[in-house]
Structure 1
């Protein structure tokens, strides 16, 4: 009996050690290296901040995992995940059928309408007919790039592709493009800025769930089910305990979670 008890005690000690090691495991959270305010951007010292950064800090604390922010170029962020350079994508990535063929996703953690923005003194609508003959800007390697090529390519004069949202917004302000498509939440911060005072929302684009997706989700490697379940539980928990709302209220005047 004594020998059996010692065996049980040893196994329990080993289990506790393994559990502690698992909790201390570093999880690399991939964020887009390009700024995307108010979700994520870095200051002059290189420190990252924004809604998505604070959201991930709260989520990792709730899930009891040690998360390290790892900036990655947006157009290489899925390969970085699948090759193991990062473990989670937290970069406002829309959940789409095409992406689900490559990676898994958490439950959506926010949703945003997709809108067209343009100069206040320019008449246009967020439709193929309403954008006819205009130069339309969009960020590369996004669902928006796929959308404009599918729905607006035959009507606009030109589709200009940008590596970052900031570059597209700068060209809109300077008049090098006539309109820009992106998520309403991201564009809202631009319109409230001094440079963005030139412009306004022109309307929501017609929905296309196959391209625009189900909302933003955390990207995960195929089969990483334990981490996905842990993150889903943490999303639910910070929604329930008020941490999600507290963070969101610092950046937005409305609920970005959606239905």
Structure 2
């Protein structure tokens, strides 16, 4: 980011705070209970994740104070937002339905959704090969509407979280699952799951943004300014903290087949390259 843009972002955040926007000085942040590595509740009850690290940096730059609410499933959080009980939600992909009551910052990370199957399956590793099968997908997740519309021939099973989807898959309650690749890697590691393999990307990426109550435009501007003030090296540091490109290779974890290690690395490398290109393009002068 150029020094001029960075200075403007910091100046906006300072002016916004000094203007006495009381409603936004302390914001109610609703975290998901089980969406690691982005946002999740640890065994000790504390909230952690890549998205929280980003939100804390955004808040520091924008002068916001976070009031972290009890963790809940996403569907319940969205209902609370619609009722005016929540100010900020992290790790969300903009959708037409959500845009009715939420505003969104620019994305801070982008991750593809993939098919997950048991490693002893008949290699049905794409949605096109799963006609009539039971496939789990997160209830209320942005990918749910996409796969239901794109693959109506599949018997979609809405579940509370990606973790539940993988557990049902291993238990034989569903034939496959759809989840973002970072969450799958995180859950496999955290829960020591075995017997899973990654399949094809489903054609849907998660460009995750911070979301805020649509009726609070000042809060949205402060979040955007705070995000813009985070330098590229710090962005990559946060991403690598939670999604290191060589994590699966180092772990040599039995829960994912060797082929999935390469797929994860390629997808993450592609994301980082795309992110760097986007950042470089933003520096180019416009005509």
Same fold (TM over 0.5): yes
Aligned pair partner of 2:165 in 157, 164, 168: 168
Question: How far off its partner does 1:79 sit?
Answer: 3.3
Question: How far off its partner does 1:175 sit?
Answer: 2.1
Aligned pair partner of 1:234 in 218, 223, 226: 226
Q: Give TM-score, length-normalised by structure 1.
A: 0.79
Matched residues in 2 for 1:197 and 1:81: separation? Answer: 37
Aligned residues: 233
Matched residues in 2 for 1:193 and 1:47: separation? Answer: 16
Matched residues in 1 for 2:207 and 2:213: separation? Answer: 18
| Other-structure match for 1:88 | 88
| Other-structure match for 1:43 | 42
Q: Which runs of 5+ in 2 are unaligned?
A: 1-14, 246-267, 279-287
Q: Tell me the secondary structure at the aligned position of residue 172 of structure 1.
A: helix
Q: Which runs of 5+ in 1 are unaligned?
A: 1-14
Matched residues in 2 for 1:217 and 1:194: separation? Answer: 27
Are 1:173 and 1:195, in contact at CA under 8 Å, matched by a contact in 2? no
Q: Give TM-score, length-normalised by structure 2.
A: 0.72
Question: How far off its partner does 1:87 sit?
Answer: 0.9
| Other-structure match for 2:239 | 248
Matched residues in 2 for 1:18 and 1:233: separation? Answer: 15
Are 1:112 and 1:183, in contact at CA under 8 Å, matched by a contact in 2? yes
Q: Tell me the secondary structure at the aligned position of residue 41 of structure 1.
A: strand
CA displacement, residues 70-118 of structure 1 (integer Å, 9 cap, x when unaligned): 134421323322332111111x211123322332111111111111011
Does the C-alpha gap of structure 1 residues 45 and 74 become closer, same or farther in structure 2, counting only changes over 3 Å? same
Q: Which deviates further from its counterpart, 69-78 or 131-140?
A: 69-78
CA RMSD of aligned residues (A): 2.7
Matched residues in 2 for 1:132 and 1:39: separation? Answer: 31
Q: Tell me the secondary structure at the aligned position of residue 220 of structure 1.
A: strand
